[in-house]
Amino acid sequence: FYTFLETTLVTLSLLPHFIAFFSEGEIPGSPGTLATTFLAFVLNLAFAVSVLGFMIMHISLAYEKKTTPKWRYDLGRRKNFEQVFGTDKKHWFIPSYSEEDVRRIPALQGLDYPSKPDLDAQEF
């Protein structure tokens, strides 16, 4: 969002120079300055439009996530995190699990995955 605001602000501040380029009046500055200003305007405008597209895409993805049906393997933020990283904080930054986590979390064996009991009966 802040990148979009910054590129839009720069584009708007360069807009008078861009308009002066296409007018018939005298243009102040050297040809190098004029070319740099013209190029900066076009690149900032293109980047602002592309970042706007990414923002729209992310907003639509966030809205889509809220409207999707419940998934039976979604156990909540904390339980999902523990399924991936384990419960021992020392092992969160290295790809290993404590022996207690391996015994306690059946999903780490790769054969049995816990699910919500109320959603087990639904078929997707």
Query: Considering 63, 79, 110, which residue would you say is the last residue of a domain?
Result: 63
Residues 57, 1 within the same domain: yes
Residues 36, 83 within the same domain: no
Number of separate domains in the chain: 2
Residues 55, 74 within the same domain: no
Identity at 66, one-letter amino acid code: K
Model confidence band, residue 4 (pLDDT cutoffs 50, 70, 90): very high
Query: Considering 63, 82, 108, which residue would you say is the last residue of a domain?
Result: 63
Query: Considering 63, 78, 109, which residue would you say is the last residue of a domain?
Result: 63
Q: Which residues contact 100 (CB under 8 A, 6 or more apart)?
A: 87, 88
Q: What is the pLDDT of residues 5-40, one digit of tens each?
A: 999 999 999 998 888 878 877 777 788 888 888 899
Residues 3, 23 within the same domain: yes
Tokens of 80: 């999902």
Residues 99, 72 within the same domain: yes
Domain with 33 in it: 1-63
Residues 14, 58 within the same domain: yes
Q: What is the pLDDT of residues 44-96, one digit of tens each?
A: 999 999 999 999 999 998 887 666 667 777 888 888 888 778 788 887 888 77
Torsion sign (Cα): 99, 101, 104, 109: negative
| CA pair distance 74, 122, nearest whole angstrom | 14
Neighbours of 53 (CB within 10 A): 10
